[in-house]
Amino acid sequence: MDKKQKKAGRGRKGPVLIALGVIVIAAAVLVIQRYMPTNERMDPEAYFGYPEENQAAVVLQDHIAPERALLQDGSLYLDYDMVREQINSRFYWDEGNNQMLFTTALETYEIPVNSRTYTIDGAENEYDREIVLQNEAGLYLSIDFLQLYTNLDYTLDTETRHVLVRYQWGTQTTATVKRDTAVRYQGGIKSPILTEAEKGDTVRVLEQMENWSQVVTQDGYIGYVPNRRLEDVQETEVAREFQEQEYSSLTRDEKITVVWHQIDVQEANSYLSQDIEQMTDVDVISPTWFSVADNEGNMTSLASAEYVQTAHEAGLEIWGLVNNFSPDVDTTLLLSSTEARRKMTQWLVDQALTLGIEGINLDFEYIMEEDGYSFVQFARELSIACRKNGLVFSVDIPVPMDFNQHFNRQELGIVADYVIVMGYDEHYAGSEAAGSVASLSFEENGITGTLETVPARKIISGVPFYTRIWYTVTNSDGSTTVTSEAIGMDTVDTTLETYGVTPVWDEQTGQYYASWTVEDGTLCEIWLEEEESLALKASLVKEYDLGGIAAWVLGFERPTVWTVLEENSR
């Protein structure tokens, strides 16, 4: 190769090297850009969903609520439905009187809308601002008034128009910020910045991932920070200084036995001495005296002064039972009326005090989901009257199921002295298939489910003295018709003897089972309630350290049953 060719070769290398350098620089820039955190900031209004000028977004503990708070004259108001469902359920909207009711252990507040005055037991009081606001968007409660009676704290940012409401306390995961750091919308350095957390700030950790943690900042943003920027991640007891109101209770230290006494006519009262002649170890008798007569809250009574005297001479307390079984009663209309609830409450307390009985047993059944909130409100109001007058207040509730959570057992467990779990009617009159009235597992599930929200000492386990004979008829088209009748223990024995049937023990239900077929082809089945099955049920009271046991209903038992309950439940 001559010199000219060599020189030409060296000349071609220059552009190549330059091109390679550009590529390397571009690649380096791309690498830097890839690993360079973005400084883009997310618009607070976009993050909080563009609240209007007179509104504030609500960060409710650990999520942005769909409801908006209302800002008026420098005061903050929370959506009523949100308050009722998530923060404090003791506010009740009295639509008929266009006012809000609020119940404490001993008082009911009546709060008119858009007013600074409210009444307690007829006495008028003044507040420094409107407590309840109503506009076209709905109902709102003053957060400052709410805070007087609720263990909550809040931080309001008027510039970004959002409020952080903290109302859940106890053990929470917290961490300390090591150094000033950006809090990002999502986990990743390319996610926009929501706010900054300063060195030393305490954040609440909602979720820890491999490299990032989701946190709630002190100013109410829910975002992500790198794990390397956090230290002292630990479980912390988070509390706020607040005096919870005390609900006094007449719950006994020792276990009790209750028996219901069905009184359908006035004359039945006179048989009390005979009905309890062989009864032993019972503390309370609950006669079914009181019934709601109509939707206005008028009542009927089968009470008897002679009955009271006889029961007291036998050493029995009396809890008068009140029911809503009348076909003339629309429970929805009844319970939604504040006037009707008050009329029932006053009448029941007056009756109890006049008769000299010790308590009231609330046995309202057929409570639909839409009635649940008003039912609990009635229980609150009735409990106040009972508490003020030294009357034991008990309430009967079904075994917890997904479809009956509207009973709000937690609240009933606070306001009532006793919550009686009706551990029967697992299969009831009208059931499509034959089955046990109260299998052992059904009874136990009722207890354990109620224990999730009600203290054990307040729970009374309800057991049946009755059972059902089930009749299954096969129709001409191959379908079946199932009917049943409730009978007592002695009638069961007589029936089995008549048909020459010997029952066998069924481990699954914890009961004896028998079946036979009569001449017309009807299949008869029965799951017996007797001493052995009741011993197992009664032992659950001792196992779970409950407040006692209750039996439905006096007259269906054998005398030997009383000893069984006593020996196994206490």
Is residue 394 scored above 60 in pLDDT? yes
Q: What confidence tens digit (pLDDT) does each residue in 273-301 have?
A: 999 999 999 999 999 999 999 999 999 99
**What residues form DSSP beta bridges with 543?**
none
Percent of the chain at pLDDT exceeding 70: 94
What's the average model confidence in pLDDT over 182-210?
97
Spatial contact of 455 and 413, defined as CB atoms under 8 Å apart: yes
Q: What confidence tens digit (pLDDT) does each residue in 23-48 have?
A: 655 544 444 456 689 999 999 999 99
Give the model's confidence band at 22: pLDDT under 50 very low, under 70 low, under 90 confident, else very high. low
Is residue 4 scored above 60 in pLDDT? no
Q: Which tokens sit at 51?
A: 């609240």
Quote the CA–CA distance of 259 and 254 in Å, as a whole number. Answer: 17
Phi, psi of 228 (to 5 degrees): -65, -15
What's the average model confidence in pLDDT over 366-383?
97
3-state secondary structure of 570: coil
What's the average model confidence in pLDDT over 230-252?
96
- The predicted pLDDT at position 225 comes to 98
Spatial contact of 331 and 305, defined as CB atoms under 8 Å apart: no
Q: Which H or E element spans position 104? A: none
HEC string for 425-480 = CCCCCCCCCCCCCCCHHHHHHHHHHHHCCCCHHHEEEEEECCEEEEEEEECCCCCE
Give the angle 343-348-354 at the CA atoms, nearest 5°: 125
What's the average model confidence in pLDDT over 357-362?
98
Is residue 160 scored above 60 in pLDDT? yes
Residue 190: which residues within 8 A CB-CB, separation 6 or more? Answer: 37, 38
Q: Which tokens sit at 291?
A: 């019934």
HEC string for 241-293 = CCCCCCCCCCCCCCCEEEEEECCCCHHHHHHHHHHCCCCCCCCEEEECCEEEC
Q: Which tokens sit at 24?
A: 């390397």
- The predicted pLDDT at position 32 comes to 47
What's the average model confidence in pLDDT over 453-461?
98
Q: Which tokens sit at 466?
A: 């009755």
Spatial contact of 518 and 495, defined as CB atoms under 8 Å apart: no
Give the model's confidence band at 121: pLDDT under 50 very low, under 70 low, under 90 confident, else very high. confident
Q: What is the DSSP letter of 83?
A: I
C-alpha gyration radius of the chain: 34
* 51-to-57, 87, 246, 516, 527 alpha-carbon distances in Å: 6, 22, 38, 70, 61
